[in-house]
Amino acid sequence: MELIEYIFITLWQGIIAAIELGRLDLYDQTISSEKAVELYLMMFKALLILFGFYLFSICLERLAIRYALYKYNQVRQENENLTN
């Protein structure tokens, strides 16, 4: 889970850096407003995809924990039935 959070933060920092770079003059050339809007849309889509993956991984983690608890309770119940 920490790895996913690290990737999310790193990508976010990269996007912010790209936005700031897009605002700077590069060899006395600025990017056009159409290119800037296109860049923002592409970065927003990337963030949405990454955020969706992050939520999906959280759901998978919770599902795995629930399944482990279910199995643990099942085994514990079987052990109690054997001792009685």
pLDDT in tens, 19-41: 666 665 444 456 667 776 777 77
- Residue 1 neighbours by CB under 8 Å, 6+ apart: 57, 58, 61
Query: Of how many residues is the chain composed?
Result: 84
Query: Could you list the mean pLDDT of each consecutive 10-residue stretch along the chain, which spans 84 residues?
Result: 72 72 56 71 79 87 95 92 79
pTM of the model: 0.54
> What is the structure's pLDDT at 77?
92
Is the Cβ–Cβ distance between 22 and 36 less than 8 Å?
yes
Give me the pLDDT at residue 53, please.
Answer: 84
pLDDT at 32: 67
Instruction: Specify the number of domains making up the chain.
Output: 1
65 exposure class (CB count in 10 Å sphere: 0-12, 13-18, 19+): exposed
Q: What is the pLDDT of residue 49?
A: 81
Q: How far apart are CA 11 and CA 22, in angstroms?
A: 16
What's the domain range around 68?
2-83
